[in-house]
Chain A
Amino acid sequence: MEHTVISSSKFNAWFGDNHVVKDVSIAIEKNQVIAVMGPSGCGKTTFLRCINRMHELIPGATAKGSLKLYDDEIYQMNPIYVRYKIGMVFQRPNPFPNLSIYDNVIAGYKLNGLKMPKADFDNIVEKSLTSAALWKEVKDSLHKKGTFLSGGQQQRLCIARAIAMEPEVILFDEPTSALDPISTSSVEQLFHELKENYTLIIVTHNMQQAARVSDKTAFFYMGELVEFDDTKQMFTAPSDVRTQNYITGRFS
């Protein structure tokens, strides 16, 4: 039984007058890894940031159309609640420099003032760091600042921070583009494991990465969703000429 987590129909987004996401309709199923690809400036980041209502934080940014988490309209929910349910990992690792590794993982609880017994927090920290494949490396230095870690470790810490909130969906905006190859492969490894429990939507410019990690790929071009299909299908026999041009490198 497959189950739709995120779905949109005729969804649009603007920066002022600049129409950057145009009539996007998509249905994303549970426990899948979705790669989002397309040339620079085609609206990938914007669409991603609409899904957890981060888009509207930019002055002048607006959105219209239907975008659902299960059966609920995201734009009619409380944005705070949406962001609990839909986590996000950014291009550059951004752990909180004033918090320890431990507090970074439970930052979603701490910063929101949610109280819990220490044992529960310990539990969440260990579980999230384990899921983010970071526990072994940091378990003896949990109370050091998160910014002492390497870039790749910091990114996994940010993933742990998102996991700790037990979201339904985790959004990744070019999560490995600031990382070296070894860190990149450790994060990619992670996607396979996270898929068991979460739905992942990953913006990437790296086609090999999309091929390695994703079940389905969405191809955006100038704000439109041109094609959305199984990744294998997409890379072997794309149905749209623009997709074909992109993956064969005829334009960037």
Chain B
Amino acid sequence: MEARLKIRNTKSLLFKGLIVFLAFLITIPLIVVLLYIIKQGVMQVNWHFLTHVPAPVGEPGGGIANALVGSILMVAVATIIAIPVGILSGIYLSENPSTKLAYYSGLCVDILQGVPSIVIGIVVYLWIVKPAGTFSAISGSVALAIMMLPIVIRSTEQTLRLLPPSLKEAALSLGVPYHRVIIKVIVPCGFSGILSGIMLSVARIIGETAPLLFTALGNSFLSYSMKKPMESLPHLIYTYATSPYDDWHNLAWGASFILLMFVLILNIVTKLITRKWNIQL
């Protein structure tokens, strides 16, 4: 009896050790990559780097201002497009889960989530770039917005579905019309969940290159026009990292570092939001 117990204990100890070891093992490459990007990138970053466009080959200096501005603009416009559409669809799905429309749009959302980003780029190319006859930042924003949608929709839906039905009944029993119940009670109560879904979707798309290849294209000059081609951080990294010049490689490392910081900050802010603004039900 004693001996059997002992063997069991050893077994479970070994098993635990194995799990910890494997968990540790997979984080090592991740940490190595992160440290490498930081090491290579952090030295590039200074005020000049952030405020100047890339220098021609052979000239010293140069920065990523065009890509930084481009990424921020395109992601901002994409977010503005995706938020209303995503939240409203999410509300529809959580409010009418058993309708046919909800079933099929839910299915579409799931499929959309699995569509490779390059395909979305091609679709937007056919829809907007070709008819318009020009690559444009706005078409890039549309492609990014389409990529954000499934995340925003699903997180909104799941957040709202967790709210107790008694909440809605309480508001309705006070004579509050349905649309006000949604706007004033349901959405505010799910606010932190919806917001963190939006933040995560931004973090997800900010590093996307593929949907921008046929839409926003890229631009080695600083541009603020949504109707013209525009540079973005991931696209700049893609073009400069594959170039044969060391200066350009350094630029790409610096841009990678900035991108990494964006994603990191977005994730941290999301965690803080969910913790701080979570409403106790």
Contact = CB atoms under 8 A, between A and B. Distances in A.
A84 B175 contact: yes
A81 B171 CA distance: 14
Pick the 4 closest A-B CB pairs, nearest first: A83-B175, A108-B174, A88-B173, A94-B166
A22 interface: no
B279 to A, nearest CB: 5
A112 B185 contact: no
A82 to B, nearest CB: 8
A88 B188 CA distance: 23
Given A90-B166, A96-B185, 9 more contacts: A80-B175, A80-B176, A80-B177, A82-B175, A90-B173, A96-B189, A98-B188, A112-B177, A161-B170
Nearest to B183: A111
Interface in A83-106: 83-84, 87-88, 90, 92, 94-98
Interface residues of B, number: 22
Nearest to A88: B173
A83 B173 contact: yes
Contacts of A95: 170
B166 A111 contact: no
A52 B170 CA distance: 12
A54 B171 contact: no
Contact of A108 (B169, B175, B189): B175
Interface string B136-172: 0000000000000000000000000000101101111
B281 A147 contact: yes
B184 interface: yes
A107 interface: yes
B277 to A, nearest CB: 10
A79 to B, nearest CB: 8
Interface of A: 52, 54, 57, 79-84, 87-88, 90, 92, 94-98, 107-108, 110-113, 145, 147-148, 158, 161-162, 165
Contact of A90 (B170, B184, B188): B170
Given A98-B185, A98-B279, A83 B170 contact: no
B33 to A, nearest CB: 41
B174 A97 contact: no
A96 B171 contact: yes
Residue from the set B166, B175, B279 with the largest chain A CB neighbour count within 10 Å: B175
B280 interface: yes
A96 B190 CA distance: 12
A205 B205 CA distance: 56
B180 interface: yes
Contact of A54 (B173, B177, B191): B173
A177 to B, nearest CB: 14
Contacts of B167: 94, 96-97
